[in-house]
Structure 1
Amino acid sequence: MSVDNYGNHPNLEEERRKKAENFRLNIPDRDNYDDYNYMDDYDDETSELNSYSGEDVRQQIERQSRHALKKQKRAEKKELRAKNKHNRRIFRLVWLFSVIIVGAMAAVFIITGVNDLLAINRTSSDTVKVKVPKDPTVDQISDLLKYNGVIDEPLYFKMFATLTKSSDDFSQGTYELRKNMDYQAIITNLEGSASRTDTVSVTIIEGQNVLEIANTLYDEGALEDKDKFLELCNSDQFDDDFSFIKAIDNKADRYYKLEGYLYPDKYDFYLNEEPESVIYKFLNNYESKMNEKQEFSGYDKTYTINQMIEESGTSYSLDEIMRIASIIQAEAADKDDMYYISSILHNRLSADESMGVSNLGLDSTKYYPYRSAVDIPSNVGSDYVSKYETYDKAGLPAGSICNPGMDAIKAAILPKETDYYFFCHDKDGQAYYATTLYGHNQNLEKISNDDE
């Protein structure tokens, strides 16, 4: 067939006509749908495009993708709402169950704690000894009480002690406690000393000085810190409580301000007692003794020490009497000798300088605060000279040289009336008195010959 005849072929014309009729979009009319989102129910298989336009196909695909994405998101939101609703139900159940459990536990804790606080279930009246360490914490106290069967709920006790501000008031010691005590009774006993059983009896001998007393207390277990004790003995800490201490006005000249006022007696102390508490016991006892009515030789009535000082007409103050008494205590061989030595001291202190005996010249003052030369510490030095020394220094030393007993104090107030100015003792304690230096030297020679 020739080319010229191709366009006039009847079959070709028919084929072109059919193709032209089929070249259209097979899209339904929108006016037949009530909702703009008519594509939601549209069947993808019937929406194919019979078009050769690439742009139209792309737009159609995008619309279908957006529709699918929206549909997926709505489904996810619906699923999430359902899941959240389920989770809220589970949370409410768990929360309710937790509240019930916690409430039940709290109720049990409160009931058992209150019962223990009031000792309702602890009916035994048995006693136990609880040993509290030094500087105890409330945790240690709670554990000790639990271990010894005094309480059942250490946590509740710790809370109670903290709330009542008692957790810092416990101190070292051995305490006797009953198992049926309530918390307040337990704390009261632990804060006080009435139930302590770790006591020790210490006897302070007449004539001991502060250093010797500190050593005795330490050796007997009544004192743990000697340095603190000695420091307090030269402090002003007790002035406000004791007028006789406050009256001392030459502290700077003294070795120990409280020397002479630690009254020798038998004391009951607690093991490792605080130094301040120990000193208070000494000073309280001294004050009590000074206020007791005493019998004095030559007097029908009884007097306190201060009353007798006033009654005797002496010009010496209480502190000066205590200094004289401390020398008498250190020098006298016995009670009777005390009154003669007191006479000699008074005579020398009031003697005219022309007599050459204004200095007391006493060995007992030479090494104070040490007893003798052998007691002087090596770090002090061999050339040590006490500022209380009475060979070169006139008058009384600045303070007492020991702590005298009542007999020495009485003798200091009321000496015998003699004209003696000298005294000495032999190895057996026999006393020799003399009015003159010549007589004193004769006594010394006699003692020396007897010793041979």
Structure 2
Amino acid sequence: MHRCIKKNTISERDTGCAHFSCASSWAIRIVVILLLAGSTAWAYAATPPSNFPEGRRIIIEEGSSLREIASDLKERDIIRSSLFFEFLVRLLSEDTGVRAGTYFFENGVFSLDLAKHLTRGIFGLDPTRVLIPEGATTREIALVMQHKFPDFDATRFLELAKDKEGYLFPDTYFFLPNTKPEQVIQEMRSNFDRQMADLLDDIASSTKSLHEIVTLASLLEKEAIVSRERKIISGIIQNRLDIDMPLQIDATFRYILGKGSFDLTREDLRHESPYNTYINKGLPPGPIANPGMDSILAAMHPEKTSYFYYLHDRRGRIFYSKDFEGHKRNKFAYLR
């Protein structure tokens, strides 16, 4: 009797499962490898380059496209991948916008943090204290700003401020290093308006317009330092205005010629300019500086005296006289 022996055989179904299991295993391995490669690439692209310009300012120019910005950042070793940075910016900002300005990074930053700073305008800058002295001209203000901030556009500032002389209030300000000329002018002019708000009633009752008050105050700012002297000189100017007498104020020559009293020549005194108060009667057409509050108040409230003349000696002392004869005596006594 023959016994049937059942052979061990693998069915087609089992063979398919084995092949599927093997393929799945390889697929998982590939996915894992891709994930690891992707995460490695992501991590590499996200980290700052080893030669990131630490402790330096990064300037994003106005009007630059995202692609131009990303390419420039890569060239300057601020990011590793321009495409990755563009992706992050688009992810963080609906309008894919990067805010123009000057940014500061003490240390290298990851691309994600960089994208956050640039899309949200986090400049990483601390305000700098800037003192604008009383009596500073717009040109002098430009020099102060440029000294504090080497990248400040002084030329642009002067273009915008050419009709603002007298109305940029001298004070202590706090500006960011990336402050634009427009912002400086706006802040200083707004400060002027705030200061004038308390004087509106006095200005309204004055015989002078605000422009005349500011113009006169700018002269006083240059002619005297002490409040009492400013008020006396303000009264002298008013006495001369009342009788239509030329003001003959030397301070205007520093504004138009850059010369002080002791440098002037007879030819300078005949210099053709609407600011020359030797050949033109009345106040000059506009301020010659940006006066402080003390000079503005002195212009509004002059001290009444019988003086018509005054002069400064070389030590800055002021001597007054009622008439030309007295003035000549003072010149002989104090200007020899």
Q: Same fold (TM over 0.5)?
A: yes
State the Cα deviation string for residues 56-79 of structure 1 (Å, max 9, x = none): xxxxxxxxxxxxxxxxxxxxxxxx
Superposed CA offset, 1:99-118 (max 9, x none): x989x9699979x98x9xxx
1:37-48 mapped onto 2 (5 Å cutoff)? none
Which residue is 2:133 aligned to?
205
Larger Rg: 1
Residue 70 (structure 2) aligned to one of 139, 145, 148:
139
Please give the alpha-carbon distance, in whole angstroms, between the structure 2 residues aligned to 1:324 and 1:219. Answer: 29
Normalized against structure 1, the TM-score is what? 0.54
Q: How does 1:326-345 map to 2 (within 5 A)?
A: 326-345=218-237
User: For residues 123-202 of structure 1, what are the structure 2 equivalents within 5 Å?
Assistant: 131-135=57-61, 137-139=68-70, 143=74, 155-162=83-90, 164-175=94-105, 185-187=116-118, 189=120, 191=121, 193=123, 195-197=124-126, 199-202=127-130
Query: What SS is found at the alignment partner of 1:342?
Result: helix
Match of 1:436 among 316, 323, 332: 323
Give the Cα–Cα distance (whole angstroms) in 2 for the partners of residues 335 and 144 of structure 1.
58
Aligned to 2:200: 306
Mapping for residues 1-400 of structure 1, pairs under 5 Å = 131-135=57-61, 137-139=68-70, 143=74, 155-162=83-90, 164-175=94-105, 185-187=116-118, 189=120, 191=121, 193=123, 195-197=124-126, 199-221=127-149, 224-234=152-162, 257-271=163-177, 273-291=179-197, 304-310=198-204, 313-351=205-243, 353=244, 357=245, 359-372=246-259, 385-400=272-287
Equivalent residue, structure 1, for 2:3: none
Q: Is the 8 A contact 1:130 1:145 kept in 2?
A: no
Name the CA distance, whole Å, in 1 between partners of 2:145 and 2:151: 5
Letter in 1 for 2:202: M
Distance 1:391 1:169, change over 3 A: same
In the TM superposition, what is the alpha-carbon distance from 1:438 to its structure 2 partner?
1.9
Partners in 2 of 1:227 and 1:325 — Cα distance? 26
Alpha-carbon offset, residue 196 of structure 1: 1.4
Relative distance call for 1:261 and 1:409 in structure 2 (3 A) is same
Aligned identity (percent) is 28
On the 8 A contact 1:131/1:173 being kept in 2, the answer is: yes
Deviations along 1:268-291, whole A, 9 cap, x unmatched?
333363221222222122223333
* Secondary structure of residue in 2 paired with 1:285: helix
The CA deviation string for residues 363-396 of structure 1, in whole angstroms up to 9 with x for no partner, is 111352443179x9xxxx9x96433111111111
Gaps of 5+ in 1: 1-96, 120-127, 235-256, 292-303
Aligned-pair Cα RMSD in Å: 4.2
The whole-number CA distance in structure 2 between the counterparts of 1:141 and 1:201 is 32
Q: CA 1:177 to 1:415, structure 2 compared with 1: closer, same or farther past 3 Å? A: farther
2:321–2:327 CA contact under 8 A, matched in 1? yes
Name the count of aligned residue pairs.
291
1:215: how far off? 2.2
Q: Does the residue aligned with 1:174 lie in a helix, a strand or coil?
A: strand
- SS where residue 368 of structure 1 aligns? helix
Q: Shift of the alpha carbon at 1:158?
A: 1.6
Q: Shift in Å at residue 220 of structure 1?
A: 2.8
Structure 2: segments with no counterpart, 5+ residues: 1-25, 47-53
2:276–2:284 Cα contact (<8 Å) kept? yes
Give the C-alpha shift of residue 432 in structure 1: 1.5
| Higher RCO (C-alpha under 8 Å, 6+ residues apart) | 2
SS at match of 2:101: coil
The CA deviation string for residues 399-438 of structure 1, in whole angstroms up to 9 with x for no partner, is 1001111110111111112222211122222221222222
C-alpha displacement at 1:178, in angstroms? 11
Once residues 328 and 344 of structure 1 are traced to their aligned partners in structure 2, the CA distance between those partners, rounded to angstroms, is: 11
Q: Residue 167 and residue 130 in structure 1: after superposition, are their counterparts in 2 closer, same or farther (change >3 A)?
A: farther
CA gap of 1:346–1:132, structure 2 versus 1, over 3 A, is same
Contact preservation (8 Å) 2:98, 2:118: no
